[in-house]
Structure 1
Amino acid sequence: MRDSGPSGSGDVPTVLVRDAEGRDLLCFLEQLIPLDGSDYALLTPVDTPVSLFRLKDGDEPEPITTITSSEPILSVADVVLQEHDLTLVRSAVTLTVSGELDEPDPEDLEDEEEDEADEESETYELLVSFMVEKGEYGLYIPLDPFFVVARMVDGQAELVEGEDFDRIQPRIEAELDEREWPD
């Protein structure tokens, strides 16, 4: 039997991951992968991950990859999300949104993918857009699964990032492919 992550039972274990800046991210434990004498955890955030984009008329949305948690843009995003009974969380690894989100209809997503040619709209769905000073911004939900990799040490999850992540990612993917297609 293959361990495929969350099931209908609701008994999926959670793990708290902390980044170098002390921010936490609560995640579901999807897979545990032993490599080189260490256990690596493949995790998915409990809350919905979101990405911040700068919106420009007629241009593709531009991802904002570096932002401080005290940035005024995030304060405005907080207010806009509160209007939808959602909360912006400045988590480790990514921004997340907690609260009840409407799940997109998979058929609608397929139709949108067929209708639109730009790649960003196929991999992200706009959650909210808002104005800050004279610029327009949007929070987008990634449509592809968002995974976090952590090394398990004494029952604690240590975030794997930077060069460590670049080194271990291909090996984790190879292990997952092997689990997916047993001989």
Structure 2
Amino acid sequence: MRDPGPSSSGDVPTVLVRDREGRDLLCFLEQLIPLDGEDYALLTPVDTPVSLFRLSDGDSPEPITTVASSEPILSVADVVLQEHDLTLVRSAVTLTVSGELDEPDPDELEDDEDDEDDEEMETYELLVSFMVDQQEYGLYIPLDPFFVVARMVDGQAELVEGEDFDRIQPRIEAEIEEREWPE
């Protein structure tokens, strides 16, 4: 479902996108991009996207890209987040956290040299860490914008995934760059 326009608070319109497994993700509609007679939406999640990592002493954090929504790790993460008045949401596309998060202090991010040899971690900020079966895990917030691409069909947002995403992503990026830097 999509709001017909700005919400009652005067904010950016929102769009509900659903993945193949029936999970939803409420997003802000950032831009509509027409390509090949279809409208593609560039979206950002309303809630804060997070990534799950396995942590080991001395090793670089290892991203966990697939996790079942019933996974015990997520149940423990739920409890830890509740202690901070936050809620883990098993959304389409990514895990998200709802609730009031403190904005990261840019000065703190620049001064944090703990992960200096791990370039990937420079793009994430640790939200919480926790133990499950004597293994440490962490939920990290991406510092770069997290975008979702959907195809708009009859006012509904259909998630663009897999090969479709690989095919359309470079064209959407080119269109956005052209809009930002017109000749």
* TM-score using structure 2 length: 0.92
Secondary structure of the residue aligned to 1:175 is helix
Instruction: Report the CA distance between 1:113 and its aligned residue.
Output: 6.5
For 1:137, the equivalent position in structure 2 comes to: 137
Secondary structure of the residue aligned to 1:67 is coil
What is the 5 A alignment of 1:109-120?
A: 109-112=109-112, 116-120=116-120
Structure 2: where are the runs of 5+ without partners? Answer: 1-8
Q: Go from structure 1 to structure 2 and tell me whether the alpha carbon gap of 1:31 and 1:54 turns closer, same or farther (over 3 Å shift).
A: same
Q: Counterparts of 2:10 and 2:146 in 1: how far apart (Å)?
A: 20
- State the Cα RMSD in Å: 1.5
Q: Go from structure 1 to structure 2 and tell me whether the alpha carbon gap of 1:169 and 1:23 turns closer, same or farther (over 3 Å shift).
A: same
For 1:84, the equivalent position in structure 2 comes to: 84
Q: Which runs of 4+ in 1 moved over 6 A?
A: none
For 1:104, the equivalent position in structure 2 comes to: 104
Q: What is the identity, as a one-letter code, of the residue corresponding to 1:31?
A: Q
Structure 1: where are the runs of 5+ without partners? Answer: 1-8
For 1:58, the equivalent position in structure 2 comes to: 58
Secondary structure of the residue aligned to 1:33 is strand
Q: Counterparts of 1:68 and 1:170 in 2: how far apart (Å)?
A: 30
% identity of equivalent residues:
90
Q: Counterparts of 1:131 and 1:10 in 2: how far apart (Å)?
A: 42
For 1:29, the equivalent position in structure 2 comes to: 29
Q: Counterparts of 2:89 and 2:114 in 1: how far apart (Å)?
A: 33
**Residue deviations 1:50-93, cap 9 Å, x none?**
00000011100000001100000000000000000000000000
* TM-score using structure 1 length: 0.92
Give aligned pairs, total: 175
- In the alignment, is the contact (CA less than 8 A) between 2:115 and 2:121 conserved in 1? no
- In the alignment, is the contact (CA less than 8 A) between 1:32 and 1:40 conserved in 2? yes
For 1:128, the equivalent position in structure 2 comes to: 128
Q: Counterparts of 1:89 and 1:123 in 2: how far apart (Å)?
A: 22
Instruction: Report the CA distance between 1:144 and its aligned residue.
Output: 0.4
Instruction: Report the CA distance between 1:14 and its aligned residue.
Output: 0.3
Q: Go from structure 1 to structure 2 and tell me whether the alpha carbon gap of 1:97 and 1:115 turns closer, same or farther (over 3 Å shift).
A: closer
- In the alignment, is the contact (CA less than 8 A) between 1:113 and 1:122 conserved in 2? no
